[in-house]
Amino acid sequence: MLHKAIGMADFVQLWVYLASTPLFGLTATLVTYAIAQAFYDRLDRAPWANPVLWSVVCIGGLLVATGTPYPAYFAGAQFVHVLLGPAVVALAWPLWQRRAEVRRRGVALVLAALVGGLAAAGSAVLLAWMLGMPGEILRSLAPKSVTAPVAMGIAERLGGVPALAAVFAVITGIVGALSAKYLFNAMGIDSWAVRGFALGTSSHGIGAARALQVHEDAGAYAGIALGLQVLLASLLMPLIFRWFA
Amino acid sequence: MQIRGLALLLLLQAAGESIAHACALPFPGPVVGMALLIPALQLDWIREAVAAAAQLLLTHLSLLFVPVGVGVITHLGLVSRYGVQLLVVIVLSTWIGMAVTAVVLRGLLGGHAAQSDRHG
């Protein structure tokens, strides 16, 4: 009995120690993601088995259940997080690979990215405003179709909350990755280029990751859309908000 | 090979951050880095180095969003207050964005594009 009590106390002590080192956040992120990815592959990449969704749910649940504060987790997870910067730079690669198509269809792609991006951001801000949400949330919702690291920067310029913008962007990505297949099938959109481009425009990197796993053309066009959305939104969103403010 | 590419990507990001800061550009540093990389890919040695690292990063792109996504636990108050409404807003606007983009692009590319994609 006594032995068991000591074992439990030791375990708690060990957990407290481990959770306070950067090792915890990094290990938890990679191990959880690797397991979620394995399940995703085993389930034939069903949209609902999205590895980002389940990694966030499992790690978030673990932190809440054990009372581990987010900064303690982020101390380790930041080593994964910083790679978002070079990943955005790396988006030049899919753009360059498809440069002939980008040049040939450039006007159509830029126009579609512009109209689609405006529709996504505009409808989000309008709906949230109609539901009476505070301005802080509206300004954090606007850049949600842009990849998280860039969305944070845009939200800051608009006077929103960068952390909220990042969370909204991730949720938007997951929603797109989960539902794109059904939406496009219902709309009768069968071109992989159009499907990928629309998913990348609306759901940035998480949508592009999904598109890449489904079809090579869809992935390439999602990558182009993601890059275009980053450029257009960083340039236009602060201007548009200045007109309204 | 991937290390050299990663070093190049980080260097371009740093260059992008510096330029964006010095010239007060509206773009975030990594976006300027991306714009710098596109012409630089004409050079064989840059292309070879970057290709491996870019492929690694972009294949596992969704992993990189997990740390930020877990940050939702710091906003549980907001989530419990506006959670359902926020989810409705995000789901609807994501669908609107996808549908509008798809319809516009399909219209602009015409039947020709859809055909060449299906056969090519």
Give the mean pLDDT of A101-126: 91
Q: Are residues A41 and A102 both part of a single domain?
A: no
- Min distance B22 CA to chain A CA atoms (Å): 17
The 10s digit of each residue's pLDDT in A11-37 is 778 777 777 788 999 999 999 999 999
Domain shared by A109 and A162, yes or no: yes
Contact predicate A131/B107, CB 8 Å: no
Q: CB contact, 8 Å: A199 with chain B?
A: yes
Residues 162-191 of A with CB under 8 A from B: 163-164, 166-173, 175-176, 179-180, 183-184, 187, 189-191
Do A75 and A210 meet the contact criterion of CB atoms below 8 Å apart? no
pTM for the full model? 0.82
Q: Which of B59, B82, B108 is the last residue of a domain?
A: B59
Number of domains in chain A: 2
> Would you call A191 and B12 a contact, using CB atoms and an 8 Å cutoff?
no
Task: Convert the pLDDT of each residue in A31-54 to its tens digit.
Answer: 999 999 999 999 988 888 888 889
Residues of A in contact with B26 (CB under 8 A): 157, 234-235, 238
Q: Which among A22, A50, A82 is the end of a domain? A: A82
Residue A219 has pLDDT above 90, yes or no: no
**Is A40 in CB contact (< 8 Å) with chain B?**
no
From chain B, pick out residues whose CB is under 8 angstroms from the CB of A121. 93, 97
B80 and B119 together in one domain: yes
In this prediction, residue A28 carries a pLDDT of: 94
- Cβ–Cβ < 8 Å for B62, A51: yes
User: Predicted ipTM?
Assistant: 0.85
- Using pLDDT thresholds of 50, 70 and 90, give the confidence band for residue A5: low
| Claim to verify: residue B73 and residue B100 sit in the same structural domain | yes
